[in-house]
Amino acid sequence: MRGGVKIKYPIKTLIAVAAPVISLDLVTKELVMRLMVYGQSIPVVPGFFNLVYYKNPGAAFSVFSSGGALRTLFLIGSSVIALAVIAVLLRQSAGRWMTIALSLIAGGAAGNLIDRVRFGWVVDFLDIYAGGSHWPAFNVADSAITIGVGMALINHYLAGKKSQG
């Protein structure tokens, strides 16, 4: 290859998957912050789905929601460590499915990390519920992480089945 750096497959996939996740996450959060009032809820599918505007200072399911600056530093540090681990795993990734899974997780982790660094909290705006039972509000980054983890678990399960013959 002339005049340039050859980019390896996992890095191309990481960029192709994580960049749109980060972009969509940041744009949707910005729209929520600009167009909604904090605490506001807009029914989209009555009885099932609302758009909301919440500030989550904690982690998933509002774990670690108290603790101030130390909590924020811990969550930022945890995100940076998680991204470093993902980078190592990507270098060792055996296939496209796992590379996409890790890229989704990385994109989601980076999207939420950007919020934590900027604000000290993460914007959550998707509210799924049935009757009075609400799933904790979440965002695009959380969705990408969940899908990526699901894909990784399926990959791990299928790899185990393959090795058993």
| Residues taking part in catalysis | 124, 142
CB atoms within 10 A of CB 113: 20
DSSP 22-91: HHHHHHHHHHHHHHS-TT-EEEEETTTEEEEEEEE-SSGGGTT---HHHHHHHHHHHHHHHHHHHHHHHH
d(CA 48, CA 132): 10
d(CA 95, CA 74): 32
